[in-house]
Amino acid sequence: MSSKQPRYINRELSWLEFNQRVLDEALDSNTPPLERLKFLAITASNLDEFFMVRVGGLQMLAEQGRLKPDPAGLNPVEQLQAISQRAHRMTVDQYHCYVGSLEIQLADQGIRRLRPDELSERQSNAVELVFENEILAVLSPLAVREAEDFPLLINQTLNVCVQLKPDDESGGQARFAIIPFGRTTYRFITVPSDGGYEYVLLEDIIRDYAEKFFPGEDVVECVPFRITRNADISVREDLASDLLSGMEDLLDERRKSDCVRLEIHDCVTTKSRLFLQQTLGVRDEDVYAVPGPLDLSSFMRLTDLQGFDSLRYPSWPPRHSPNVDLSESMFDVIAKNDVLLYHPYESFEPVVRLIEEAADDSEVLAIKQTLYRTSRNSPIVAALKRAAENGKHVTAIIELKARFDEARNIEWAKKLEQAGVQVFYGVKGLKTHAKICIIVRREPQGIQRYMHFGTGNYNEVTARLYSDASFMTCNLDLGADATSFFNAITGFSQPQKFRKIEAAPIGLRQKLLEMIEAETQRKRQGQDARIVAKMNALVDPTIIDALYDASQAGIRISLNVRGICCLRPGVPGLSENIEVISIVDRFLEHSRIFYFYHGGDERVFISSADWMPRNLDRRLELLVPIEDKLCRDRLIDILRTSFSDTSKGRRILPDGSYESVVPAKGEAAVNSQQALYQQVCDAEKRAEQSQRTVFEPHRAPGTGA
């Protein structure tokens, strides 16, 4: 490794390469058209959040004159320059994908975007009716004579900038007006069609009818634009006496924050572009002029169109786990054996059912649960409310600081409090990201605790889209640890030493470092050693350095990192024994699974935490050992399958770029997600066949067993 080469890849540039891997799925002509559109919309949504959070934060640092470099050696100004160059190239790729390929392919398959001059007479009449009755009556043009007149535009909503012909009062200067769309305006206008689905975009209609907004005026130009505001703003918890109120103020503050990106159609004139730039305070490098529709994320709605199933992936509905008997109570199921579920291949329904049963079971005394991100109509939240109304002691830790879910979590917090749930908003200075539910039940042998630990959120909707592990147990040691962890959060007490689990920010980081160091020492002593880990992101320099040391000791290290990876793999003398694979496919890889050979006594953990400073130092997270042999072996097999992917696997290279993992000559490509789904289908089928071979006689009434 060159002495000038930094030991780490820049976090932001690594994230952009991850988003490019998602975009590659949209660019792949072998991907079904509506799935291509979905991937494209995801890249746009991802980029929106990246600008709001990461770019917004860097811009604030640059404006404050902070020049401290990141671990990769780049200061905020240098990072912003590199980000701008890479993001502009990515935007070009996005529109090459949509305008140059995908829009044409969708039109050939019956999903057509029409411009006003392409409408038939019947369609034109329908559009005119919509404009007169719905658009003209709802939208309001706002004249901008001075900078102070410029409206407070909502973050990431579409707007139209209208340039009017100068009049006598303007002294020959261009005049401008803004037509804000707001959040509620429907952008996709369906038009009558003889087949398929045809639509017109709202901004195209407004451009065609612009004069009707300005009677007696000459419209020189009508161009759509969109702004992205800085969302890297946090509440000062030490100053907020009421966190819920403080979070509500924070959401209001975000509506007025600085503009960090201006997107505009590339047909814009220099005069209009400069007007918007100067008024919004946007630099040249933060302007993104595009040759197609703005806000590609909004095209996600088209992916749900009815009647176009042939343009999607074949359906993979979640399967029932053979380890969960649907005829039994979840308490009986867990009392017999620990249960490991791997979503979305296996249904999330047993987790929901466990909490719903607990809400109605007369023997359940208490439920304690963390909630980070939930669905809009969460059955789990409904069950917690019902449990409280049924007289059970219910405690919920709702993380109000879950970024972009703050409003929903505030709403849930208020409703749960009204139902009698004891609600906590977490711990000052930390986000509660751990996924844990404890159910305390009175049973003949005494009090029993049932636990659920997960790598993903308590969200039955995303559980059909994200790959995550769920572990359900009534293990006594894990029950004691779970209670200690929960009580430390709600009782303002010092956490006690755990028997099995580890928690961040207390001992989780140290546990990981100890496990890596133990493998390193064994290898140096001539013993076998192995480290395999699957996660969303690898950023933490201390963990990366420990992995570098392990690699230099000769340990073969396999990392499956979906997103950001700041470790440089395959560098001679530093990390030549480390391989990093990333998988982007139909399901979002979200599980965190860690494996250590440990001298043959294999240790396997699931966790809510990625290997990032924020997870290890600034969040409440859990690391849970999986000691049940069947559950542990299954996780090892899941890891093995994930590393076998020669279809969607991408190998990260030392410079942070990537290459496809290809099958060996003569071997068929392996798709890990398809293989995992086939495994659960086969297991379900074997269980059904096994049940059919068990003969249960009909007994005559009154006969004994």
Closest listed residue to residue 440, CA positions, set 468, 479, 403: 479
Measured between alpha carbons, how far is 481 from 453 in angstroms, rounded to an integer?
Answer: 12
Measured between alpha carbons, how far is 631 from 535 in angstroms, rounded to an integer?
Answer: 19
Q: Report CA-CA distances (Å) from 424 to 77, 82, 427, 450, 549.
A: 39, 41, 8, 21, 41
Measured between alpha carbons, how far is 271 from 175 in angstroms, rounded to an integer?
Answer: 10
Decide if 686 contacts 322 (C-beta within 8 A): yes
Q: Which residues are catalytic?
A: 433
Closest listed residue to residue 630, CA positions, set 373, 357, 340: 340
- In the block, tokens 């939930």 appear at 374
Measured in whole angstroms, the distance separating CA 578 from the mean position of its chain's CA atoms is 26
For residues 617, 344, 39 and 566, what is the CA-based torsion angle, rounded to 10 degrees? 30
Residue 617, both tokens: 């130092």
Rg of the chain over Cα atoms, rounded to whole angstroms, equals: 28
Give me the sign of the Cα torsion angle 348, 350, 356, 359.
negative
Residue 656, both tokens: 């942070």
Measured between alpha carbons, how far is 11 from 611 in angstroms, rounded to an integer?
Answer: 13
Decide if 448 contacts 386 (C-beta within 8 A): no
One-character DSSP codes across 108-177: HTTEEE--GGG--HHHHHHHHHHIIIIIHHH---EEESSGGGS--PPTT-EEEEEEE---TTTTT--EEE
Measured between alpha carbons, how far is 131 from 135 in angstroms, rounded to an integer?
Answer: 5
Measured between alpha carbons, how far is 74 from 2 in angstroms, rounded to an integer?
Answer: 17
Residue 389, both tokens: 């109304």
Decide if 464 contacts 348 (C-beta within 8 A): yes
Q: Which helix (H) or strand (E) holds 450?
A: strand 446-454
Give me the residues paired with residue 358 across strands.
none
Please count the other Cβ atoms lying within 10 Å of the Cβ belonging to residue 618.
15
Q: Report CA-CA distances (Å) from 189 to 141, 203, 204, 302.
A: 20, 10, 10, 12
Decide if 394 contacts 417 (C-beta within 8 A): no
Q: Is 61 exposed, middle or buried (0-12, 13-18, 19+ CB in 10 A)?
A: middle
One-character DSSP codes across 198-252: EEEEHHHHHHHTGGGGSTT--EEEEEEEEEEE-------TTT-SSHHHHHHHHHH
Residue 109, both tokens: 């398959």
- In the block, tokens 């979590």 appear at 409
242 — alpha (psi -120 to 50), left (phi > 0) or beta? beta
